[in-house]
């Protein structure tokens, strides 16, 4: 892969074996029409080439013969290729015309464009078999396009029918749900009106009022401790403090009575002390 030498500077993989340069389609049709051109990787693997027509074994550079390059990059004499094609059956399909070297199809597809395609069509345009093959290729392409458009139209119609059905079902379901909701709303509103009318003319019972009156008169009210709660708490803390103080005093006296010093003999009741004469 490299840049061609023409002013366009196109990146290409085609390589001219004779001039040893990269060539693009424009270079190929203008300056290398009779040269042996193949892929650059093929040239790296094997740089040998044969510059003769594979049908007549004569030099491609002979000015007495005009040359044609197929899309597979192989070059033939136009007269040799025309003679070879006339030897094929008259009912040969366009796909049956293949390169004698690599068996690639000779005719370009209708959607193929470029300088090489234009040069090939111009070279084959004078041959009757080529015109028939190109017209058949175009007719087959048109028929396939029609089939595609027809299938797209059928698919579009089916999609529209499905959309219409789904929209009809959606509208019908919405209408049915709306009618059901209206029926339910009407029923509920009617029942509420009937209930209100019944409650309006129904005699109210006096028992709940009597019960509330008895509760308010007979049951004692709960004392209010919120205001005096802090005073009671202070008094309780003071009493606990006084009781604790007296408990500490009692314990201190008991502990003091238990501790007698060892050298205090006169305080021991079991020791008697006599007078000296």
d(CA 195, CA 35): 105
CB atoms within 10 A of CB 142: 11
- Give the position of tokens 């390169």: 99
pLDDT of residue 147: 59
Mean pLDDT of 133-161: 68
pLDDT digits over 40-88, tens only? 898 889 889 999 999 999 999 999 999 999 999 999 999 999 999 999 9
- Which pLDDT score, from 0 to 100, does residue 218 have? 62
Q: Hey, what's the torsion of the CAs at 27, 31, 36, 37, to 10 degrees?
A: 0
Return the structure tokens found at 121.
């069509």
The tens digit of pLDDT for each residue in 180-234 reads 666 666 555 555 554 555 555 555 566 677 667 766 766 555 555 455 666 778 8
Q: Which helix (H) or strand (E) holds 167?
A: helix 128-201
Distance, C-alpha 54 to centroid of its chain:
55
Domain ranges in the chain are: 1-49
Specify the pTM. Answer: 0.51
Percent of residues, the chain, with pLDDT higher than 90: 30
What DSSP string runs through 28-60?
Answer: HHHT-SSS-EEEHHHHHH------B-TTT--BT
Contact indicator for 37, 26 with CB cutoff of 8 Å? no
Which two tokens mark 262? 């060892």
Res 74: pLDDT: 95
Q: What are phi and psi of 86, to 5 degrees?
A: -70, -20
């Amino acid at each position: 892969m490299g840049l061609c030498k023409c002013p366009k500077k196109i990146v290409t993989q085609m390589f001219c074996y004779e001039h040893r340069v990269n060539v693009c389609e424009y270079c190929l049709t203008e300056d290398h029409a009779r040269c042996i051109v193949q892929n650059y990787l093929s040239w790296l693997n094997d740089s040998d080439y044969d510059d003769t027509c594979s049908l007549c074994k004569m030099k491609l550079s002979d000015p007495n013969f005009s040359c044609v390059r197929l899309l597979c990059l192989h070059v033939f004499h136009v007269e040799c290729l025309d003679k070879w094609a006339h030897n094929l059956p008259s009912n040969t399909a366009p796909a049956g015309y293949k390169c004698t070297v690599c068996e690639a199809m000779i005719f370009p597809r209708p959607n193929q464009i470029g300088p090489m395609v234009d040069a090939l069509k111009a070279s084959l345009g004078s041959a009757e078999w080529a015109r028939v093959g190109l017209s058949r290729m175009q007719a087959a392409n048109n028929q396939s396009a029609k089939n595609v458009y027809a299938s797209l139209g059928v698919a579009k119609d089916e999609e529209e029918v499905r959309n219409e059905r789904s929209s009809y079902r959606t509208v019908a379901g919405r209408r049915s749900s709306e009618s059901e909701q209206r029926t339910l709303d009407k029923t509920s509103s009617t029942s509420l009106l009937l209930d209100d009318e019944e409650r309006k003319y129904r005699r109210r019972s006096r028992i709940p009022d009597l019960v509330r009156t008895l509760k308010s008169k007979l049951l004692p009210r709960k004392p209010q401790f919120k205001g005096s709660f802090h005073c009671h708490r202070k008094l309780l803390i003071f009493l606990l403090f006084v009781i604790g103080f007296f408990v500490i005093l009692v314990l201190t006296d008991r502990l003091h009575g238990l501790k007698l010093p060892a050298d205090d003999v006169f305080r021991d009741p079991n020791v008697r002390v006599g007078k000296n004469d």
